[in-house]
Amino acid sequence: MSDIVVVGGGIVGLSIAFRLVRGGADVTVLDGGDEGAWQVAAGMLAPGGESAYEHPALARLLERSAELWPGFARELGVDVGYDDTGTLSLAMTADDIAQAARVWTRQQLPLLRPSELRELEPALSPRVRAGVLAPHERQVDPRKVVAALRESLGSRIVPKRVQSLSDVDARTVVVAAGTGTAALTGLPVRPVKGQVLRLRGEPGLLRHVLDAAVDGREVYIVPRADGEIVVGATQEERTDRLVTAGAVHDLLRSAIELVPALAELELTETTVGHRPGTPDNAPLLGRLDDRVVVAAGHHRNGVLLAPVTADLIAGLLLTGDTDPMLADFSPRRF
């Protein structure tokens, strides 16, 4: 067995292993094989969301990772769908504008008129009343990222579901098992269900990620270069994997109200994933004890946070240095 075993081959565990291998470490990844949250995630790299304002240390972590993404994407050496066109944050009704205005004011972004919005994104509904362009809110395709990481790590990834950390034969164990982290460590990581749709059409219908409030309902639309369009997502305190009629209806209704042409596209996927949530919605990063290090609980931002998590955890294990950034995310805080 290797010096370091990473338990969990999702986007976080693989990114850590990738960084450790680059740093010369002897690493094995054990992965349980069930679909991680990365499989359904939209891949928005949005450091300026609501959660960031409630938690300044988390805001800094999100910002740092957003800065790392262009270099990380280049390092992976293949196209992972990193796209810096930016996000249009939109509102449909007066109530939606009032709600969104709080975030827009904090972001200090200029308000765009409907005509300016449609110049940027001609397929938008004429009903869209206001919006802002957030140029630093970008996207990547998590499925392509995981494929690239798997390719790079190759036979270092071993299919195995770990039942107990005492069964893992290694000097150091990194637990990066998403929602599976709770069963392995007893830490409070809970599944937060998200239902997501994928549509497919001709490339080029949309240029930006759209993040909107439509009659009080939140929806985002993430267009990929190949014509795939991701529509998400519900946020439910549930553990089941059911795709429900109500969620599909609500997501499609909001998305089509925002971009009427979506009604003509093929609905290719309806999927469910579980975000690994924590009591304060911030990740658990750092030492649990002398042998076990945790990197879990990334909730809604695990794709965005993968590069910074990899750097911080690899730094801790390769040099023994605890970056001051880790102080606010200790897994022992609960």
Ligand X SMILES: Cc1cc2nc3c(=O)[nH]c(=O)nc-3n(C[C@H](O)[C@H](O)[C@H](O)COP(=O)(O)OP(=O)(O)OC[C@H]3O[C@@H](n4cnc5c(N)ncnc54)[C@H](O)[C@@H]3O)c2cc1C
The answer to whether 209 contacts ligand X (rule: CB under 6 A) is no
Checking DSSP bridges between strand 292-296 and strand 172-175, what pairing results, if any?
parallel
Q: Give Cα 119 to chain centroid, integer Å.
A: 29
Of 97-105, 165-173, 252-260, 300-308, the segment contacting ligand X by CB under 6 A is: 300-308
Tokens representing 230 are 């991701």
Residues 150-169 that bind ligand X (CB under 6 A): 161-162
282 burial via Cβ count (<10 Å: 0-12, 13-18, 19+):
buried
By beta-carbon proximity to ligand X, the closer residue of 130 and 298 is 298
By the rule CB under 6 A, 144 interacts with ligand X: no
Whose Cβ is closer to ligand X: residue 176's or residue 255's?
176
Q: What is the 3-state secondary structure (H, E, C) of 149-211?
A: HHHHHHHHEEECCCCCHHHCCCCEEEECCHHHHHHHHCCCCEEEEEEEEEEECCCCCCCCEEE
Interface with ligand X (CB under 6 A), residue from 49, 81, 277, 302 = 302
Shortest distance, position 126 Cβ to ligand X, whole Å: 28
Contact with ligand X (CB under 6 A) among 21, 176, 251, 326: 176
DSSP 242: P
Rounded Cα distance, 269 and 258, in Å: 20
Q: Which of 47, 49, 131, 194 binds ligand X (CB under 6 A)?
A: 194
73 binds ligand X (CB under 6 A): no
Least distance to ligand X, CB of residue 16, Å: 9
- The answer to whether 219 contacts ligand X (rule: CB under 6 A) is no
State the nearest-atom distance from the C-beta of 105 to ligand X, in Å: 23
Calpha distance 298→320 (Å, rounded): 23
Interface residues for ligand X in 224-263 (CB under 6 A)?
A: 232-233
Nearest-angstrom CA–CA distance, 24 and 21: 5
Instruction: Tell me whether residue 133 or residue 162 sits nearer to ligand X (CB atom).
Output: 162
| Phi, psi of 55, rounded to the nearest 5 degrees | -145, 90
Extract the runs of DSSP E, i.e. beta strands, from the chain: 4-7, 27-31, 44-45, 87-91, 130-134, 138-139, 157-159, 172-175, 190-200, 209-214, 217-223, 228-232, 266-277, 284-287, 292-296
Question: According to the binding rule CB under 6 A, does residue 112 interact with ligand X?
Answer: no
Smallest separation (angstroms) from ligand X to the CB of 199: 15
Pick the piece of the chain touching ligand X (CB under 6 A) from 42-50, 99-107, 108-116, 120-128.
Answer: 42-50
| Type of residue numbered 45 | L
Least Å from the CB of residue 210 to ligand X: 13
- Beta bridge partners, 209, equal 87
- Number of amino acids touching ligand X (CB under 6 A): 43
Can residue 2 be called a binding residue for ligand X (CB under 6 A)?
no
Can you give the binding site for ligand X, defined by CB under 6 A? Answer: 7-13, 30-34, 36-38, 40-44, 161-162, 176-178, 180, 184, 194, 196, 232-233, 273-276, 296, 298-304
